[in-house]
Each structure stands twice: as C-alpha cells, then as structure tokens.
Amino acid sequence: MSALLPFVTVETNESPDSAIIWLHGLGSDGHDFESLVPSLSLSPTLSVRFIFPHAPKRPVAVNGGMEMRAWYDIYEMTLERKVDMGNIEESRLQVEALIEDQINKGIAANRIVLAGFSQGGVIAYQTAFQTNHKLAGVLALSTYLASGDGVPLAEDCQNGATPMMIHHGSQDPIVSPSLGIKARDLLIEKGFSVDYEVYPMPHSVCPEQVVDISSWLNERLA
C-alpha cells in the first residue's frame, strides 16, 4: 500500500469519534481551511478530527503547465471543462485511503464527512459515488461534477441516501453557478438526497455560509 497523502490534523476534543476530511482547491494546500475550524462553532459535545490533506504537485495545463498542488489536471477552462479523469481516479483512491485510515483508527464510516472546495469538491463527489463506505455526509463547495455520465443511480450507490449539501456563489467567475445547479439537478434526478444553497459571493467562502455549514455539520454529527 502506498503512503498516505500528507495532511494537517485539527481535533476539537480528546478521543475523536467523528472525522471531516476536507479537500482544498487548485493551487492551495491543506492549510487553506484549517483556520476555519474555530469559526464553525461545532457543539462542545462533539469530538471531531479534521483532516486537511495536501494534494500532490503536478503541472496544470490551463496555468501554462505550472506545477502546483492539484487533484487533477485541467486541459481546457471551458464551461464544461476538459479534465484528466485518470488523475481524478488517482486522487479518489488517495482519499479512499484516508477514509480507511480513519476507520482503522476507530472512527466509523458513518461518522465521516467528506467536504471539498472547487477541485476538492469534484474528488469528494467521485469518492462518495464509488466508495463502499456509507458516509455521514458530503459537503460540495463551489464545485461541479467531473462527468455526468459517471454519476450512478442512488439505488446503486452506497451513499445514495447520504445527505449532500451543495453551496455556490452567485458571483463565482471561476466555477459558473450554472455548474452547481447542473450538479444539483442531475443528483436529484438520480435519486440522491441533495440540498442546495446559493450565496452572494465569488469563488470563496462567506460568513453567512460558515454559519450554515456549522448547522449542517452539527446536525450530521450529533
């Protein structure tokens, strides 16, 4: 078995019994959302281990081949995007290994939330669709589906009934809001349990959204 991706760990209490694996966006790293943890105001009764992995460094075509942390290569920055599905599968397996690691450390799969921003959200979706573990929830932030054809029917998916929360900015110039809506509509059509919220923000996270994330996580992990 290959080594786990390096990651940042933040624990809200001793002896965590739940975990949130949070995947960053293109060109960022595992520290990107680390500072958000105190703002989430999780219930003091919860004992949560946050895992913020660092994506591998790879050349990214749309950025002139510059090497940066990326879950996958993007060939064309069109609305639909042309991406490296092989990279996505590689990253999915790396996130699957992180899930297995937390399970081996005593945290049940149904106490694990997958969260991802932008590229990280793409991998969160793919992992939820293909893993054999039933998770506590999927939080998809300012993201999209890499391939609509790859979305299974909910009845054929271990996480078909797992709550999925999609957040998107109405002013997002990087990932068009239409892609968030497209993901929502396809997931609902396939039978998944989906909620969708939009915020007056660009490709980012806003205070109002953080309050909503806090409520959703407290509910998922109560």
DSSP string, 94-133: HHHHHHHHHHHTT--GGGEEEEEETHHHHHHHHHHHH-SS
- Report the pLDDT value the prediction gives residue 2, as an integer from 0 to 100: 66
Per-residue confidence (pLDDT) for residue 77, from 0 to 100: 80
Check if 172 is active-site.
yes
Task: Say how far apart CA 168 and CA 175 lie, in whole Å.
Answer: 9
pLDDT score at 20: 98
Given a cut of 70, the residues of the chain with pLDDT beneath it are 1-2
Task: Give me the catalytic one of 28, 118, 133, 168.
Answer: 118
- pTM of this structure: 0.97
24 is catalytic: no
| Catalytic annotation, pick one of 32, 73, 84, 172 | 172
| Domains in the chain with CATH codes | 7-221 (3.40.50.1820)
* Active-site hit among 41, 147, 203, 204: 203
